[in-house]
Structure 1
Amino acid sequence: MTAASDLLIDAFGRVRETVHEVVTGLRPDELTARLDDRANSVSWLVWHLTRIQDDHLADAAGAEQLWTSQGWFERFSLPFSSAATGYGHSPKDVAAVQGLTPELLTGYQDAVHDTTVQYLTGLADSDFDRVVDEAWTPPVTLGVRLVSVIADALQHAGQAAFVRGVLRHGALPHK
């Protein structure tokens, strides 16, 4: 393991911790509440950030996503294809993310986190320079992709924490 791997493991650990803090103790109506008809719910935000991490890390590792390989797709029972990650979802799609529990959301996040740590532990410094996506200019390296996933996940986790705070402190009416 490298110093870079250690830092990335710490950063992904912060995502996991925030997800747990955000969803623990929320009722089903709080998980699906939206601050307005165009806003994202806590359930959608946590599902999406975990799907992106699962999707991008599996692609980088050349592995199957846990979403399908471990049956999370069936357990979540959402009205989307198994390939859906939430990218490009409409407000109607966000509203369709229903019936999830804190345990289901954290269970999937924990599984993805554990697989992420296992993958990162096996990397050498030279691995971070490997190009994983040539669709961009410049091409995206593994190191850049991992930082991007962390940045996106922490932003969404922060958004979910904000929604939780608003709901729990009554600053805006529940929807």
Structure 2
Amino acid sequence: MHAKDILIEGYARIQEEVHAAVEGLDPDGLNTRPADEANSVSWLVWHLTRVQDDHVADAFGLDQVWPTGEWEKRFGLGLPRRDTGYGHGPAEVAKVRVDSGDLLTGYYDAVHEQTLGALRSLTAKDLERIVDDAWDPPVTLGARLVSVLSDDLQHVGQAAYVRGLGPVRRIRSQESGGA
């Protein structure tokens, strides 16, 4: 198996987990944050998708899907155009709200397709190419792709965890006299 095939398989796992974390959730399940300082499923999936979109596009010299596919307009978040969620505090996290999981998975799927196209073109030599010399040592394409893969899997795992807290939140709310 070639390195690009392993990367393609890894990124396919992200797509599967994104769909599993979002599927069937209503707006409350997507947007509820388990605590004031915590992230929602919506924010986590939006953020991991923005990071993949930003980093893969940059590494391969592509346009980001966010503005070119008009996803920025569809989401209507009121955040800066190039915002990926990095460094967001509670106020910015609260701005990332969606009415449907289809918006999140649609954007992720569009980014995934662009990522797959880029990965399919890879050669072993490409993975050694420096894509960011602001670090010591400089970051190779291979390291960048593994970094995005790792970050995305962590965030989709967090989204699955937050999703799993949903029924617990409702039970606690009912016990305390809430709706």
Give aligned-pair identity as a percent: 53
What is the distance in 2 between the residues matched to 1:127 and 1:4?
A: 11
1:35-54 pair list within 5 angstroms: 35-54=34-53
Normalising by structure 2, what TM-score? 0.93
Q: CA deviation at 1:39?
A: 0.1
What is the distance in 2 between the residues matched to 1:60 and 1:111?
A: 17
Task: Please tell me the residue identity of whatever aligns with 1:60.
Answer: A
**Could you list the runs of 5+ residues in structure 2 that have no partner in the other structure?**
174-179
After superposition, the Cα gap between the structure-2 partners of 1:100 and 1:133, relative to the gap in structure 1 and judged at 3 Å, is farther
Q: CA deviation at 1:121?
A: 0.4
1:10-89 pair list within 5 angstroms: 10-89=9-88
Per-residue CA distance 1:81-113 (angstroms, 9 max, x = gap) = 110000011111111112341100000110111
The structure whose Rg is larger is 2
Pair 1:122 & 2:121 matched: yes
Q: CA deviation at 1:168?
A: 3.4
Q: Which has the higher contact order (CA 8 A, sep 6+)?
A: 1
Normalising by structure 1, what TM-score? 0.95
Pair 1:102 & 2:123 matched: no
Provide the aligned C-alpha RMSD in A. 1.4
Task: Please tell me the residue identity of whatever aligns with 1:106.
Answer: T
Task: Please tell me the residue identity of whatever aligns with 1:38.
Answer: E
The number of aligned residues is: 173
Task: Please tell me the residue identity of whatever aligns with 1:79.
Answer: G
**Could you list the runs of 5+ residues in structure 1 that have no partner in the other structure?**
none
